[in-house]
Every structure is written in C-alpha cells, then in structure tokens.
Structure 1
Amino acid sequence: MKFLSIFLTLIMWATTYFPQQAEKYFPDKDLTTVGVYYYPEHWPREQWERDIKNIAEMGFEFIHLGEFAWTFFEPEEGKYDFTWFDDVIKLAEKYNLKIVLCTPSAAPPVWLSENYPEVLMVDENGITQRHGSRQHISWSSIKYEMFLEKINTKLAQRYGRNKNVIGWQLDNEPSHYGRYDYSDETRKHFIEWLKVKYTSVDELNKVWGTAFWSIRYQNFNQIRIPNQKELVQQVNPHALLDYKRFSADEAAAFLSKQYRTLRKYISDDQWITSNFMDQHMNVDPYRNSDLDFAAYTMYPVSGYRDGKGEQGFRLGPVEVISFASDFHRGVNGVTGLMELQPGQVNWGIYNYQPYPGSIRMWLWNAFAGNCSFICSYRYRQPLYGYENYHYGMVGPDGVSLTPGGKEYKKFISEIKDLRKLDITNAEIPIEFSAKKIAMLWNADNIWDTDYQKQTCEWNGLRHFIKYHSLLKSLVVPVDIINESKDFSAYPFLIAPAYQLIDKSIVERWTKYVENGGNLILTCRTGQKDRNAHFPEEPFAEQIHNLIGAKISFYDFLAYERRGKIKTGDDLFEWNIWGDIIIPDDGTQTLAVYNDQFYKNETAAVTRRLGKGTVTYIGADSYDGKFEKSILKKIYRNAGLSTMDLPEGLLVEWNKGVWVAMNYSSTEVEAPVSDSGKIIIGNKLLKPAEVVVWQDKN
C-alpha cells in the first residue's frame, strides 16, 4: 500500500515537473545541444569566417554573441552600428550555427559612465566604481535603465525575428560578484521599498527591534543602508536581512525589465534566460521565475573548491555541477549550463590544469543533470586583456585545439551518436523515481543564519549543498523548490536549516505529513519567525507539535574538537551544530550524543504522523556521515533501498540512460546491472572517466 501511494504521487509529479516550454524550446530528441562563446569584436574581420567555419566543423550547434559588445553597438550616445554584427549573424547562418544573443548590460561604454556618473555603483567604503572593468553599474539606476532599454530595443527589433537566433541571455553573471551597492540612488530605492513593506516607521521599528541599542527611527529618511564599515559594532540583523531581500529584489527587477523589453519585439520561439552564479548569495534566481528558465555559470577547477582525493583539485568537486543543475532547474523546470570552463583559467587562487578527461566528464555531468544545452566560454583564447591566460577551445594561434577543445569535440560526437539510438522513450526506472525528494529553498534562511552564525564553522549554503550531495550519493533524484510549489507532488521533502518560519508553513508541513509525505527537518529549523525574531515561547516551540519533541538547547564544537554521536552500534562525529532534543512520548530516538556533559541526550528523532513521517536531524557534522546514516534509515523505513556510492562517484538517470562519472582519484566500479547495456565507456572507471548505459526492458 505504501509503495502504491508513492507510485501515484510520482504520476502527479510527472505531469507537473516538466513545463510545456521545455519541449517547445528543447526537444527531447536533441538530448542536449552544445555551443561556444565567440567574440568577433576581438579579432580581425578577415578571420571571422575561418573561426566560425571551424566552430561548426568541431560539431558545435550554436554560438554565443554580444554580451560585452555595447561599445561597438553604440560607440557614441545615440549612434548605433550593427552592420558588422549583421555580417557575423550571416556567417553563422552560412555554417548552420544557431545563435544565442545577449543584452550588453554588464559592460557599458565609457561615454555612459563618464557622462552619467550617477549610474555607477558605490562600494561599502564609499568609493564609486569607475569605468575600466565590468559590472560597475547600479541595478537601481533609473538613468541606466533608460539607456539599457534603448540598446535592448534596438537589438530586439533587429534580431528578434531572425530564425537563426534561438535565445537571449540577459546581462552576464548578474551578481556584482557578491558585492552590494551603497549608492545614493540605491538608498532611495531601499527607503521606498521599506515604506511599501512597513507603511509606518513605527511598524519598521517593531520589526527591526530598534529599541535595542537605542537605534529607533523617527522617519524613513533617517535610514541608511546597513553597512558594517560605518559602524563601531555589529549591524542590526533585521535591517541587514531586509537589505539583502531588497538587493535581491533589485537584481531580479533589473533582469525582469530587460525581459519585458525583449518580449515586446522578439519571436515566441526565442527563449530568454540569464547565467546565474549560485555561489553569490546577493542574487536569488528564484525571484526571476518570470524568465523562461534560469541557466548558470560553472568553473569546477579554480582553486576555490577541491574535490576528492589526491587529484581532486584537478577533477573538481563532485557536487558542484549536480547541485547547480538541480538548483537552477527548480526556478522554472528547465535549465542550461550557459558558461562551462574550457580548461585552465586565469582568475582563480590556483589556476590548475584540469585532470585529463575531466572536462568531458563535466559535460556528461551537465547532460546527466538534465541541462538542455551546454555552452563554453570561450572559442579562442584571448591575446590581450585580463583573461588572456584563460584557455579556450583553441590556443593563441587561433586554430590549434587545446586539451579542453579536444574533449568538447569528443563529447559532441558522443551526444550526436547517442541521439541516433532514440533513447528518450524509455520510462524513468520506478526504483529510481520512487525515491524522489524535494529540497525546500528560501534564501532568507541562508542570509539570516550566515549573519548570526553562532560558530565560525557554520555556512548555510554549504549545509544545504551537503544534504544535496548526500542524497546524490544514495542515487536519489532531487528537485529544489520554493514554497510556491506543491509539496504533495513529492514522496519525500527536506527543509535544511529552515530557520525562519511561520504558522502557515508549519501547517503545510503538517498536512503534507498527515497525507503520507515523509518530511525531514535539520538543525536550526523553526528557531525564529519570518522577521528573524525569537517567538516569546520555549525554544523552537513552533515545530514542537510537528516533530514530537522539544529543543532544549544547542551547542557546537570547534573543528578540532569533534564530538561523538551514537546510532545503534555505530559511532559518528559531529561539530558544526548540535540541538539537544527532548522527545515526547511516542517519538522515536534515532541517535544520541555519546560525550560532552549531555551524553545520552537525543540528537535525532522520528515519528509517525497521520499517514506519513517526520524526522528531525539535530546534529550537523563536517563529513556528513552521521546525516547520511539517518537518510538511509528514512528510505529503508519507507520500504525503499538506496545505493551507497563510493566517495566521488556520481550516478544520474536522464532521457533514457544512466550516466556514472568518477570524480574520485582512484579507480571505482559503476553500478551497471547485469542486464544493463553499456553504450559508452566501461564499468570500471579510472579518474574522470564516464560510463553511459541503458537498462534492458
């Protein structure tokens, strides 16, 4: 009966998960399409045809153009020149290459910055960001919006009905690379945003808790942007939370306005997206569900994040492409990898050469994560500029394939061969889809917990990604959703560190569980209300009746001071966070602390509620082994088996095939069944190797 309930839920999921535009823009039969960035403005005109012809001969199916070309489109204010660009468009058409065009908002021409300095962003030190790089414009600038609408209108009118243009990218990596704007115009916008939200300054004072430290305001115009550089001690956390919400809203509006401009003129067959960066938390892609979908940028090897084992720094972390694909697909049900690393880069802290085969592995990872297209920055390695050490598909001579170029060429050939097999009619394996889980996302929780960490070991995004990675290691299909989605479409739902809640979300969680869902909550969940206040009641009382337990207090340990947790006969380490739990009668203890002064106190609980279950995981570890053991138990109790992949091995199912990728530094065996038919590769995988197989009917 339990399995039938899960099966019926999956039917509901299958009818809601894929939006209609997925097939409209990206037919399943294509599996994925591959493109590359090209910058004709960087090269002599006489080389354009050679380059575009070579791009086509490599097997690429589209080129990406124009995101940094505003100064060539409009060299002087109001004087436009698109004739050179027309020639590039014609060359692409000649060689059967489709085109992704971009709005050039990330890099305006010098005349705009010099003549209208009010468009420039200001950093936390009060320094105006000047012309000479990129992303120096304020998202709040009305003047900039005016000029942007003009250039975007010109582009849309000229190319919006061109049948060779398949889509548009808004801006480029909209993020200000994690920085915030403190300009006068941004402050004015922030004050107006606050007036709309709170109506009265008295209400703002209440929500911001301005009685603390005598911060209280008499009127809205007294409010400044919260800026630690201006203060002796810490910023008001409630003011900062609102400013982060506002900034994310401004970034979303910046893209939405461009979307509306393009949509007035372009064909319905042309899609519009942007290439977000999930590591920069000043932008929230889920605020841009008005775009056709969200795409992303990914550079796995740049020294910032090492992978597994001795060669992990060259292979990249196993989780990054997988998480980014699921995260951005959650916005509108479709995603694409708009900018993927082509090889060695120049801007990292350590610009390693990627391990041989790793770039092809990343490409297969993007396909396996259901990316509808994959595009690389860039075709030619630049000869000048900040990124002239940045590899491309070809080297400085403009013709010789780089190692990455060869791997792209191989992957493109493999995908085209795979298309010939007509694999997309295969049904999702029921033993895979039955384990489907949704991860609940709200950026507010990251913003709030990361400001009031309580321990330097805490990182909200890392906590979220860790659970995603643990689920993938069990070969569990994951969707990432926000509160606008229907929870009942998923047999399993997890809300990691969901700190800011209200009565409404608790009621939804309760109803979800009572109707047969399996809910998982992790540490810090339910501590505060939506305004980041503690309710005037016992700690985490908001979720007491849901989880069947009280949170007595919490603790944490330094990195080198690992505590012990016991589950049955197994011992695990923890250190980042530890909720000390008092279970109610009828609530089952899953784990207890095995040392410290609270030895034998509860660390994780589960209970049945109606037709479903709710589990609370109160401890947080660095290695995730404890949390993984609880996740396995949850699935086992639901009558479902899980795999337990070796560290660094990733297995996904997409469009009729299984794909296994080895991100580890050692040889591993992929879980190809005896009846599985291997299409590409071998069951035994060396580092960076891939195997693709199909289950036999």
Structure 2
Amino acid sequence: MKKPVASEQFELGVCYYPEHWPEKMWEDDYRRMREMGFTIVRMGEFAWSIFEPQEGCYEFGLFDRAISLAHSHGLKVVLGTPTATPPAWLTDRYPEVLNVTYEGVTLQHGMRRHYNYSSPKYRELCAAITTQLAEHYSGHPGVVGWQIDNELNCEINVFYSESDHIAFREWLKQKYVTLDQLNEAWGAVFWNQTYSDWSQVFLPRPTPVPKQPNPHQALDEKRFISDNTISFAKVQGDILRAKAPGQWVTTNGLFGHLDSHALTDGLLDFFSYDSYPQFSSISNDAAEVNPLRDRGWGLSLSVVRSISPNFCIMEQQSGPGGWVNRMDMPSPKPGQMRLWTYQSIAHGADMVLYFRWRTATMGNEIYWHGLNDYHNQPNRRLREAAGIGKELAGSGQAIIGSVTEANVAIVRDYDNEWDGEYDVWHGPFMWQSNKEWYKALQHKHIPNDVLYIREQTTLAELARYKVLIYPHPAILSDETAALLGQYVQQGGKLVFGCRTGYKDTRGQCYMRPFPGAARELCGITVEEFTMVKGTRQPTSIQWNGMPDTGADAFNDILHVEEDTVEVMGTYASDYYAGKPAVTRNTRGKGEVWYYGAVFNEEAALNLIEHLGLRSPAAEWLELPAEVELQIRSNADTSFTFLLNYEETPAVIRVAGSKTDLLSGEVITGEYTLEGYGVLILQ
C-alpha cells in the first residue's frame, strides 16, 4: 500500500544543509522556518563523508542533533541517501566505481554523480550506508520519509565503465537469449556487424564517424540504462522498505534514459520533482513564435502528474539560479515565486519544498540563490514565502488529495523519446509538436494531461480522455495500434502527425506502406514524404473552412485508401500542391486524424475547433489568453486555479459567484487579477 504525499495538511518546507552552517545558527533557522509556516525540511543527500568519514566507521552525531532540533521545532525531516556524491576515500580506494565517458575517459572525484550504477563494489557500499541510516533513523519521530540518491541521471545519463559493458552484456542475454536473436534485432548483417561471441558485444564505443553507433544498439543502450538505474535504486529502496517500513520513500528526478513510471511503480510511494520554471524561459529559441516562457513549465509538471497524480516538489525555485559557470537565471520578480509555487500545486503537488533555505557561500552553487541571501537578513523572497505559508496553512488541507481534471491527453512513450535522440528524421519533431499543442490548449484554457503508452496501458486508461494527441510515434507496434483502435471504436478521437508508424519496437522499418501499424486506423497511406529544409521552400496547408497554416519541418503526402476518410486539408504549393495533407477517418464511434506535418500552434488551434474541444469553465468564466486554467477536484469540491503569467493585471469575468480559497473573497462579475496573481475558485 503506497503512502500518500500528504494526509493531514499541505506540506510546505525547504531544503536545508546543517553541515554547511555553524551549529549555533540552526536554532534561529528552524524558528524562522516555523514562523513562516514551514512544516518539513530535506537534508543529508550530499553528506556521505559526514555519516561515514572512513569506510565502515559511522558517525551520526551532527545529523542526530540537527534532526532532533528540527523535530523540537515541529519540523518533519526528509532524509536523502547520500549516494549521489561518493566521498574521496571511496573513489580513491575503489576507482572501479567511477563513471567513464564514451571516449573512455574516467571521470574523477570533484563534482557529483561521478559514479556508475553497475559497479558491484559501489552497490555494496551504497547498501551499507543505506542500511546504517535506515536502522539508525527508522524509529526517529522526526524523520517521515526518504529520498533515494538525488536526481538520478542528472548531469550525465550515459555510462561506459567496464562494469557497465559487462552489465549490458548480461542484460542483452536476458532479453535476447541467443546471439542469433541479438544479431537479427540489431540488423547486424548491415555493414558486417554480426557477432559470433558474447565477448564481442559492448555498449556503443567510438566509431570512425563520431558518435554514430548502430541505431538499434543505441536504442537498447537507453533501455538498459533505464533498467540498470532502477536496479541501482532498488538496492536502496528494498533496504528502506525492510528497515524503515513506517516512513515513505521517494526520489526526485525526471531526467533522461529513465522510465520514471516503472521506477515509481516498483519502488516509490510517490514521485518527486525539482521545479525550476526559469529553465523554460532561458532555453527558449529566440525564433520561437509566441513562447510560453515559464508557463511552459506546466508541460513538464503534466509529465510528473502522469507518474504520480499527486506528487512532491522536492526543490521549488525560490531565487535567481546558476552555478559559477552556467545557468545564469535572473531573479524572479515580486510575485513570481508565489506564482510558480501555485503552478506546481495546480498541476498536482501536495508537498512543496523550496531550494534552498540559504544561499551557499562556497562551491559551484554560490549563485543558486535560496530564500535567505548570504547576509541572512530579511528580504523580499522571505516575505513572499511567509505569505504563501500563511495561505496554505489556511487552505492547503482542502486541496491535498484532489486530482487534476482533463479530457485531453498528449501521448508519449519512452521508446520514441530514446530512439529520437539519435534519429533526426523524427526525434526533434515530438518536442516541437508537444510544445505547440500545449500552447494552443493553454491559450484556449483547456487543461491537458500527458499520458505515457506502456506495455501495461489499458483501454480504461485511454477511455478517460475525449481526445488523444500522439504527434509522431515513429515506433508503433501492432499491439499498441490495436489498443488505440479499441479506444477509437468506443468513441475516442485520436490525432497523429507525420512520421507515424514506420518502425517496429526494434527500431527497424516496416516493409509495408506508411503509416505502418497505423495504416488501418488512419485509412490512408503515405504516397511520398520530404524534409522541409535547405533549398526546399516551406509550403502551407489549406484547410476546409479554416485559416491556412504552415506545414512545418516535414511533409507526408497522403493518399486516401478508404471511403470513410475525409480530406480536411491539402498542400498549397510545390510538386504536391492539392494533395491531401490532413485527413479524418471515421471508425466506430470515433475518428482518427492524420496531420502530415509537424504541428504548430495555428494547426493545433484548427484541430481544437474541429474536435469540438472547449474550456471546462466556458459556461461561467471568461479569461484572457495569458491566464492559465487548471482544475483539481475531489469527491466534494472542485478547485479552479487561475494563474496570471504576465506582470500586468488581467481582467476576468465570472458568471455567478465563486469564493477564492486563498483569501476568502467572493468573486463575481468583472475582476482584475493582479500581475503574477493567483486565484483558487471553489
């Protein structure tokens, strides 16, 4: 039975590093945390050498005092297992635990995440420190939960030590059993790559053209890394379950080459995420049209929600961010930290911890600012956090356990994400189309989920949604296509984009007309296709009764095969002018759309209109485009979150009357929502 994120109150807190500060400061720190309404702190995730200064010699005194003092002030403690930063004595004595780059360079002590998951010695040492911590703190009344490691696969998510090559070989033996089957799956006959002995098989290694491995090997590499990461985490998770059964277990992440759904299903009570909305702002392409900036971070939060409907934010951005040499993010403006906090809550968070209590005065993160500045004096961010603490002390209990509502889902899967890292013919398209669909839905105030298609996905999970948008599933199995067919037959509406269905689960191309496994669903074939780049001038799509839209990046020229198919748009120019670009196929009670290009916001808006999608609050609420709408509900109440991402006020109109959960104010008629303002209407 999985433990809930929060059961009695909304948990608001902060990351705290007692080992960084003189002990005489702790009391004042904890006192001020409680005065601000904080209830929980995280600590310990980078403190291995403090817990175990020499191999086999354990010392708990510093953290015993820090945890007991926090508990005496009414603060709960989340302890991190400190395995993200192995100490110098460990890497010096056991250099085989260090990670190795693709080029064969051993990564040395001096930063973090410099280890590999496959080393038997490292797993042994991680198990030992986790066992000691769990036995020591399992009965401590102040410790409520555990975070395994820290940000698995952050900084680096590829591993090429000798231990990794050996583990990959064993993983392949389990998957394929025989070399013949491996050779067939990897298409090893191409370029004479056929293996005759398992000792010849490795993870990808340097080739004459840099980083150009066999693509099927590269896909299996990502699958292996994910399974191996989960296996590494399981060593600690099993110990914590056995030794500390009364405390919950989580980990923080959402990084590459990791099936976070499988990780959570098998090991965790709930998933945790580190939310830094300004990453979305600073990474925007300067050429992007109508960027969402920090509002776009909600798409990542939607992914987190697909893993855990209710989740923890283990690190919430609270100030300007950056290491000494990278990520120079500006300071949030007044109100933005509060906005970002409620962005997390609107998307499903029942626990939020700010990173961090006080900005570090040493190390790589001296510019990754926390709530307190170096001088430790009152500041604007502290006042803002205290205001949030007061609000959530009054309203948070009503919110916890409620879940988001959406009847639209953007569909993803890990195989296409991992295969798309290498395959430029479909890899970049998924990310662009996801973002553009999210923009269009956001601006129309239509909440959406993100749904990951997995082997265990059921029709019931799909049938919760009126519309599924699966932009570019190049890898599409017949089994997944059949499941999607059942969804459509019972009344669902399914939208595909270009490059759909041309690979099997090995990453090999089907010897059948595109869109391969989706051909029967769509009722069309792809007559021809082309990249749109270089000297190839972009064309546009002429829609039936809708504005023309650009046909971005790639064009599938379609051919109608079934009389149930209606052509909804055609290409406007080039040698395929007048050819079908957008089709709709009626199947059972539902319909399947095929869009022959990469999605942009305008195309998504046209489809939203055709699909009959409307805001769930359309009957009683008028909102400008810059305000986000999210809905959380439980058996008794619905909570409508309104978040203004602009610095200027926004005018909304409410038919009837609603009460703002945060202030108690009754909202009716025209209302001006302040810049970066938040309402939770019930």
TM-score (ref. length: structure 1): 0.88
**What secondary structure does 2:514 align onto?**
coil
Opposite residue 99 of structure 1, the aligned amino acid is V
Distance 1:58 1:45, change over 3 A: same
Residue correspondence of structure 1 range 316-395 to structure 2 within 5 A: 316-320=293-297, 322-347=298-323, 348-395=326-373
Could you tell me which residue of structure 1 aligns to residue 458 of structure 2? 486
Q: Percent identity?
A: 29
How far apart, in 2, do the equivalents of 1:309 and 1:231 lie? 31
The Cα shift of 1:183 comes to 0.7
Q: Does 1:256 align with 2:234?
A: yes
**What secondary structure does 1:450 align onto?**
coil
- Contact 2:350–2:400 at 8 Å: present in 1 too? no
Deviates more, 1:405-414 or 1:101-110: 405-414
**What secondary structure does 1:92 align onto?**
helix
TM-score (ref. length: structure 2): 0.90
The Cα shift of 1:662 comes to 1.9
Q: Does 1:54 align with 2:32?
A: yes
Residue correspondence of structure 1 range 59-78 to structure 2 within 5 A: 59-78=37-56
Q: Does 1:454 align with 2:425?
A: yes
- Contact 1:274–1:295 at 8 Å: present in 2 too? yes
The Cα shift of 1:535 comes to 1.4
- Contact 2:103–2:206 at 8 Å: present in 1 too? no
How far apart, in 2, do the equivalents of 1:42 and 1:639 lie? 48
Residue correspondence of structure 1 range 31-110 to structure 2 within 5 A: 32-110=10-88
Could you tell me which residue of structure 2 aligns to residue 440 of structure 1? 411
The Cα shift of 1:510 comes to 1.2
The Cα shift of 1:541 comes to 3.1
Q: Does 1:688 align with 2:676?
A: yes
Distance 1:196 1:487, change over 3 A: same
The Cα shift of 1:296 comes to 1.0
1:304-345: per-residue Cα shift (whole Å, max 9, x none)? 3249999x99x942121x223221222243311111111011
Among residues 213, 216, 221, which one is paired with 2:199 in the alignment? 221
- Contact 2:335–2:676 at 8 Å: present in 1 too? yes
The Cα shift of 1:670 comes to 3.9
Distance 1:533 1:373, change over 3 A: same
1:371-410: per-residue Cα shift (whole Å, max 9, x none)? 1111111101111111112211111123x24433322222
Could you tell me which residue of structure 2 aligns to residue 192 of structure 1? 170
Residue correspondence of structure 1 range 174-213 to structure 2 within 5 A: 174-213=152-191
Residue correspondence of structure 1 range 292-691 to structure 2 within 5 A: 292-302=269-279, 304-306=282-284, 316-320=293-297, 322-347=298-323, 348-398=326-376, 400-419=377-396, 422=398, 433=405, 436-454=407-425, 458-474=428-444, 475-483=446-454, 484-488=456-460, 489-492=463-466, 493-558=468-533, 561-567=537-543, 568-583=545-560, 584-621=562-599, 623-636=600-613, 646-655=624-633, 656-664=638-646, 666-670=648-652, 672-680=654-662, 683-691=671-679
**What secondary structure does 1:319 align onto?**
helix
- Contact 2:5–2:270 at 8 Å: present in 1 too? no
The Cα shift of 1:121 comes to 0.4
Unpaired segments of 5 or more residues in structure 2?
A: none
1:132-177: per-residue Cα shift (whole Å, max 9, x none)? 1100010111110000001101111111232322211111111142
How far apart, in 1, do the equivalents of 2:208 and 2:129 lie? 37
Could you tell me which residue of structure 1 aligns to residue 257 of structure 2? 282
Opposite residue 276 of structure 1, the aligned amino acid is G
- Contact 2:118–2:167 at 8 Å: present in 1 too? yes
The Cα shift of 1:555 comes to 2.4
How far apart, in 2, do the equivalents of 1:111 and 1:423 lie? 47
- Contact 2:5–2:351 at 8 Å: present in 1 too? no
The Cα shift of 1:641 comes to 7.1
Opposite residue 502 of structure 2, the aligned amino acid is Q
Distance 1:232 1:175, change over 3 A: closer
How far apart, in 2, do the equivalents of 1:147 and 1:423 lie? 41
Distance 1:542 1:62, change over 3 A: same
Could you tell me which residue of structure 2 aligns to residue 111 of structure 1? 89
How far apart, in 1, do the equivalents of 2:140 and 2:344 lie? 28
Distance 1:91 1:349, change over 3 A: closer
How far apart, in 2, do the equivalents of 1:337 and 1:577 lie? 37
- Contact 1:342–1:391 at 8 Å: present in 2 too? yes
Opposite residue 657 of structure 1, the aligned amino acid is F
Among residues 140, 154, 158, which one is paired with 1:162 in the alignment? 140
Distance 1:275 1:232, change over 3 A: closer
How far apart, in 2, do the equivalents of 1:533 and 1:641 lie? 46
1:210-242: per-residue Cα shift (whole Å, max 9, x none)? 121122221221122213566457321101011
Distance 1:677 1:157, change over 3 A: same
Distance 1:276 1:592, change over 3 A: same
1:246-284: per-residue Cα shift (whole Å, max 9, x none)? 11111121112211111111133x22111113xx42223
- Contact 2:503–2:510 at 8 Å: present in 1 too? yes
- Contact 2:540–2:548 at 8 Å: present in 1 too? yes
The Cα shift of 1:647 comes to 4.6
- Contact 1:663–1:688 at 8 Å: present in 2 too? yes
Distance 1:37 1:169, change over 3 A: same
**What secondary structure does 2:428 align onto?**
coil
Unpaired segments of 5 or more residues in structure 1?
A: 1-19
The Cα shift of 1:679 comes to 4.5
How far apart, in 2, do the equivalents of 1:592 and 1:688 lie? 42
Deviates more, 1:283-292 or 1:184-193: 283-292
How far apart, in 2, do the equivalents of 1:104 and 1:514 lie? 50
How far apart, in 1, do the equivalents of 2:498 and 2:623 lie? 25
- Contact 2:429–2:598 at 8 Å: present in 1 too? no
- Contact 1:69–1:104 at 8 Å: present in 2 too? yes
Question: How many equivalent residue pairs?
Answer: 657
- Contact 1:620–1:627 at 8 Å: present in 2 too? no
Opposite residue 441 of structure 1, the aligned amino acid is R
Distance 1:221 1:284, change over 3 A: same
- Contact 1:318–1:649 at 8 Å: present in 2 too? no
How far apart, in 2, do the equivalents of 1:292 and 1:497 lie? 32
Could you tell me which residue of structure 2 aligns to residue 11 of structure 1? none
Could you tell me which residue of structure 1 aligns to residue 6 of structure 2? 26
- Contact 2:644–2:673 at 8 Å: present in 1 too? yes
How far apart, in 2, do the equivalents of 1:351 and 1:423 lie? 31
